[in-house]
Amino acid sequence: MTYIARPDKRVPVEALLADFEPDFPFEPAPPLPEAEFAERLRRLRREAVVAGHDALVVHTDMVGWFHTSNAYLRYVCDWMREGVLIVPTDEDKPLTLLSFFTQAVILPPGGEPLLVDRILQVGAIGREYADIPGSSIAKTVEAAVAELISLGVGRGSVGLIGDRTSAPLFAGLAEEMPNAYFAREEGIIDRMQRVHSPAEVALQRTAAQLIDIGVQAAYHVIRPGVTDREIYAAFTLAQLARGGETGDGYQIGINEYGTHCGKPYGRVVRPGDLVNLYISNVTYQGYTAQTARMIVVGEATDRQERVLEACVAGVKAAEKLVRPGVLVSEVNNAAFAPMIEAGLLASPDARSMPYNWSTAEGGGPREIPLRPVSDPDWEAQGRTLRHVYPATHGPHNPNLGHHVGLAGAQNAFNVSSHNHDRLEEGMVFVLHAQWLEPLSAGCNVGDCYAVTAEGVENLSCHTPLEPHRVGAAA
C-alpha cells in the first residue's frame, strides 16, 4: 500500500484543524507584577553585598533563531533581547542596561525592561554589516567599563553572571580593568529559581495548558497518511495562537518502534506506528512547562505494551508521593519500581543504571551501531538511516525528571536517586518515565508538577498520561 502526505491531497492541511476546539476553558495568567521583579532585585543586591561585590554584571547574547543564550536578564528585569545589565550594590544607584549590540531584527523589543530607566544602545557595527571598522563586542566592553568606572568600581569587586557566550565580554572587562576583582556568580540567580512564587507557577500553569491544547490538536489531526510535519504544525498553531512564544521547543518521533524522536522530516503515519510528542518546552511570558505523550496507531506489540504500561505506572507512582518534606530521591525511586517489577531494570540507582546515552564500559566513548534501518520516507528524499539509535537500551536519562522554569535557565535540580533534598512548596518539575530498546520498543510519558502546601498540582492535567489510541484506518 502506498501512503500519501494526507488522506486526501485536495484538502489543505489547515482543514484538518477546521473544527478543533480544546475541551477545557483556557484563561492565560497575567504577566508577573513589577513588585515581584523589585523583590528579586532586592535579593540579588543582598547576595552581592554578602559576597563583597560593589556591582553585578548580568549578560546574555543572541543566538540562533533570535533566542537569547540564557534567561538571567529576563529573570532580573524581563528583558527579552541581548544585553548587559549593570547592577550597583548601592540601592541609591540606578540600573543601566547596555543593549542593541547584535544584528537581531526584533524591533521593537518584546516589552520594557522593568526597574531600568537608563538604556544605552551600543549599536551593531562591522565592515560587512555597516561599513564601519570595529567590533560590537569591543564597543560593548568599552561602554560597560565606562559605566563601572563611573560607579567607582575601577578597583572594586564585580560579580559576573552569564554563560559561555559571555566569555569575550568578561575577558574584555578583566583586561580593561586590571585593578578590579571579578568573580562568577551565576549561582545567585540559579538558587533563586529553585522555588517559584505563586505568580510564577500561574505562568507555568498557562504554559502547561498551552501544551495540553497543542496535544489535543495533534490528536485531532493524527491518522494514517498524515505526516509528522502536519502533526507538529497542528500542535504549533494551536499553542502559538493562544499566547505561546515559540514553536521550536519540542520534538516528535514516529516509527514502528517508538525509539526515534527529533524534528519532523516528512515521516508518514502508518498502522503499527508509535508516536512520541516530547514537549521539552512551550514558553509563555518566559516560563515553560514540559510533558511527554505517546500515541499508538493501530496495534502495538506485547513488548511495546509492557513498556508503555510500566512507564505510565511509574509516573503515577511517583506523583502519589509528591508533597512538601518528601525526599526527591524517594519520588525518583518510586517511578522505577514498575520497571523493576516488569524486569526492565534491576535498580533505580543512577550510577549503575543503563541509559541510552551512557558511556561504554569503563567510561570511554560508545560506538553507535552501524546498521541499515528501513525508512521509506527518508529514503524517498535520497537519504538513508545507517545507524541504530539509541545505542543501548534503558531510560533516556538515568533519572526521572528535573526542574522546569524560565526558558533557557539552568536546571536547578534533577529528580534522581542521589538527590536527597526535600521537596518544598513552589518547586516545579517534570516527571517523565522513559524506556527505549533499539528497534523494539519505546515510551516517553510525563507530566509537569508544582509542589503545593497541601501536596501536588498536576499542571498538565487536561490530557491523560496514558497513550492515545488511534485506529489503523485512514
Q: What is the pLDDT of residues 164-175, one digit of tens each?
A: 999 999 999 999
Q: How many CB atoms lie within 10 A of CB 382?
A: 6
Per-residue pLDDT of the chain (474 residues; tens, 9 = 90+): 334 444 455 566 788 898 999 999 999 999 999 999 999 999 999 999 999 999 999 999 999 888 899 999 999 999 999 999 999 999 999 999 999 999 887 667 878 999 999 999 999 998 888 899 999 999 999 999 999 999 999 999 999 999 999 999 999 999 999 999 999 999 999 999 999 999 999 999 999 999 999 999 999 999 999 999 999 999 999 999 999 999 999 999 999 998 877 999 999 999 999 999 999 999 999 999 999 999 999 999 999 999 999 999 999 999 999 999 999 999 999 999 999 999 999 999 999 999 999 999 889 999 999 999 999 999 999 999 999 989 999 999 999 999 999 998 988 999 999 999 999 999 999 999 999 999 999 999 999 999 999 999 999 999 999 999 999 886
Q: What is the pLDDT of residue 407?
A: 93
Q: Give the pLDDT of residue 2.
A: 39
In the prediction, which pLDDT does 111 show? 83
Distance, CA of 19 to CA of 8 (rounded, Å): 17
Whether 162 and 169 have beta carbons less than 8 Å apart is answered as yes
The three cell numbers of residue 445 are 510519558
Please give the C-alpha separations between residue 367 and each of 19, 362, 428, in angstroms, as whole numbers.
Answer: 48, 13, 36
Tell me how far apart the alpha carbons of residues 271 and 223 are, in angstroms, rounded to a whole number: 9
- The one-character DSSP state at 327 is B
In this structure, which CATH number among 3.40.350.10, 3.30.70.260, 3.40.50.11780, 3.40.50.2300 belongs to the domain 34-191? 3.40.350.10
Comparing CA positions, the residue from 393, 401, 433, 432 lying closest to residue 417 is: 401
pLDDT of residue 3: 40
Evaluate whether the domain defined by 194-470 bears CATH number 3.90.230.10.
Answer: yes
CATH 3.90.230.10 boundaries in the chain: 194-470
DSSP H or E stretch at residue 34: helix 34-51
- Give the pLDDT score at 129: 86
Report whether the peptide linkage leading into residue 365 is cis, meaning its omega lies within 30 degrees of zero: no
The stretches of 178-227 forming alpha helices (DSSP H) are 186-192, 198-221
CA atoms within 13 A on the CB side of 110: 17
> Distance (Å, rounded) from C-alpha 404 to C-alpha 420?
18
Q: Where are the beta strands (DSSP E) in 22-109?
A: 55-60, 62-63, 67-68, 83-88, 96-99
Alpha-carbon distance of 339 to 334, in angstroms, equals 10
Q: In the chain, where does the domain assigned CATH 3.40.350.10 lie?
A: 34-191
